[in-house]
Structure 1
Amino acid sequence: MNDEENKYETVIKRCDGDRTVLQTLGVSPSSVFLANCTIWVEGITDRLYFVQYLKKYLEELKEIDKTKWEDYSRFIDGYHYAFVEYQGSNLEHWDFEVDSLEAVDSSKNKGLNAILITSNALVIADADLTKKPRFNELEKQLGDKIAITQGKETENSLPKKFLIKKFFEMCPDNGLAKQGNKKKLDYSDDYEKYFTDSYQTSTKGVGKYFDNVLSKMRKDGVIPKLENNEKSFTFSNGKQGTIKSKTGFCRDIVELMQSESWKLTPSATELCESIFQHIKANNY
């Protein structure tokens, strides 16, 4: 009887290669309670912006291409697609292809394989990723499944009208860094000339863009010149020019998006089209 019990052996094998078979049989990720594709963004602020971008894109599309709007508007967040936040430099840890099952090794520095835990990925990355050594490898792995922002980061694709509003909400009337002066600079139509569209393709963040506007206003006497040891108020956080209090800034912008009329910038429109093409390709 003991010989009979030991007659069979249980063998557990990897079955990742069976994905092609499942696709051939018509089994999609949503059939097993997973979204059919994923949109990888850097963090929560990017996700919040893109949710609003996609809604606005559909609104604008409805007015110019009804057929395309009907096609794209059927997609449901959480079913046809889902967002994944990779948290900036953590993208360095992910691979988006598997040469062989033996190549998967989570003990390596770059051992996290995206396709083993998530479905069909589109990665949206800040423009400065193109300067990093890892970019060429990611581009090779992802092909047209990686979308790069035209400006430094997602904030560079925001509508100018909202950036102007935030500038005056944040800027003290004396332009000084000294705490305690809560009075903000009053808006005037005369100041519109200081706000160009240059930020949309800039290698610096909108914080640096604001700092440059403040500097020009100070030069023209709109804001008093610095005296003695006075320090200028700054909008940026570090050399890259990212806006300070990025999450709070984002939530304010999103609130404006939900309560005021606005239009997508060309760079935001381009990213939305990339996203919807990806969603459509993975929801046939």
Structure 2
Amino acid sequence: MSSVQSIASTQAKSNICNDLGYKASDILQANCIIWVEGPSDRIYLNFWLSSKAPDLVEGIHYSIMFYGGKSFSHLSGVDNDVSDRVEDFISIRALNRYSVIVFDSDKASSQSRLSSTKQRLKQEFDNGPGYTWVTAGREIENYLDAEALEMSIQEVHPSAAKIHDKGRWQNLLKYE
């Protein structure tokens, strides 16, 4: 016995493609989109990914896209067709079901809290498919070796004396 169902939601359409064995890259998309704040984050992630998983190819297995800090509050990890939210939010899931979002905590200390926008996006993305990576320190640069970063800054800016403050909760790109 056969039955016919109308498929209207984005999630249902995605589930059908999955059931048929299709991946996003089969229809001219990468399998996953990693959303980052800006171009330097892409450089770091590509380096780290190639170090840990050299078989992953950007453009096929994943693509990295920028959302930029100013537009952050307009993004959503919820499907447009299942959301009661204001229509002004841009659903990243509409571009690719398997999305990851990376953002700086921007916290000044371990006791600081994430902004309400970041808490909302973390919850939406962690509900899947996909997930959120919030930096453990202030920003993604805090994962870099501070001494190597300082030498790089001095190489590009010979007048730079030193990074202002070093540490997990400091802005490592602020120098004297």
What TM-score range do you get, normalising by the shorter chain? 0.7 to 0.9
- Number of the residue aligned with 1:207: 173
Which of the two has higher C-alpha Rg?
1
Say whether 1:30 aligns with 2:11.
no
Q: Is the 8 A contact 2:125 2:131 kept in 1?
A: yes
What does the per-residue CA deviation read over 1:175-218, in whole Å, with 9 as the maximum and x for residues that have no partner? xxxxxxxxx76xxxxx9xx999x52x11x31134x4xxxxxxxx
SS in 1 for 2:44: helix
The runs of 5 or more residues in structure 1 that have no matched partner are 1-12, 59-71, 173-183, 186-190, 211-233, 235-284
The one-letter amino acid of 1:127's match is S
Distance in 1 between the 2:151 and 2:31 partners? 38
SS in 1 for 2:64: strand
Distance in 1 between the 2:56 and 2:98 partners? 15
**Structure 1 position 99, deviation (Å):** 7.0
The one-letter amino acid of 2:171's match is G
**Matched ranges for 1:5-44 at <5 A:** 14=8, 16=10, 17-44=12-39
The one-letter amino acid of 1:135's match is K
**Matched ranges for 1:162-241 at <5 A:** 162-166=148-152, 168-169=154-155, 170=157, 172=159, 198-199=166-167, 201-202=168-169, 204-208=170-174, 210=175, 234=176
Distance in 2 between the 1:53 and 1:101 partners? 35
Distance in 1 between the 2:83 and 2:48 partners? 40
TM-score by length of 2: 0.75
Is the helix fraction higher in 1 or 2? 1
For residue 146 of structure 2, the aligned residue among 131, 155, 160 is: 160
The one-letter amino acid of 1:115's match is R
TM-score by length of 1: 0.49
Q: Indicate the percent of aligned positions where both proteins have the same amino acid.
A: 21
Distance 1:131 1:101, change over 3 A: closer
- Number of the residue aligned with 2:125: 142
Higher RCO (C-alpha 8 Å, min separation 6): 1
What does the per-residue CA deviation read over 1:200-247, in whole Å, with 9 as the maximum and x for residues that have no partner? x11x31134x4xxxxxxxxxxxxxxxxxxxxxxx4xxxxxxxxxxxxx
The one-letter amino acid of 2:23's match is S
Distance in 2 between the 1:128 and 1:195 partners? 17
RMSD: 3.0
SS in 2 for 1:40: strand
SS in 2 for 1:207: coil
Q: Is the 8 A contact 1:127 1:149 kept in 2?
A: yes
Q: Which runs of 4+ in 1 moved over 4 A?
A: 101-106
SS in 1 for 2:29: coil
For residue 96 of structure 1, the aligned residue among 74, 77, 84 is: 77
- Number of the residue aligned with 2:110: none
Distance in 1 between the 2:104 and 2:116 partners? 14
- Number of the residue aligned with 1:81: 62
The one-letter amino acid of 1:139's match is K
Is the strand fraction higher in 1 or 2? 2
The one-letter amino acid of 1:205's match is N
The one-letter amino acid of 2:60's match is Y
The one-letter amino acid of 2:102's match is I
Count residues with an aligned counterpart. Answer: 160
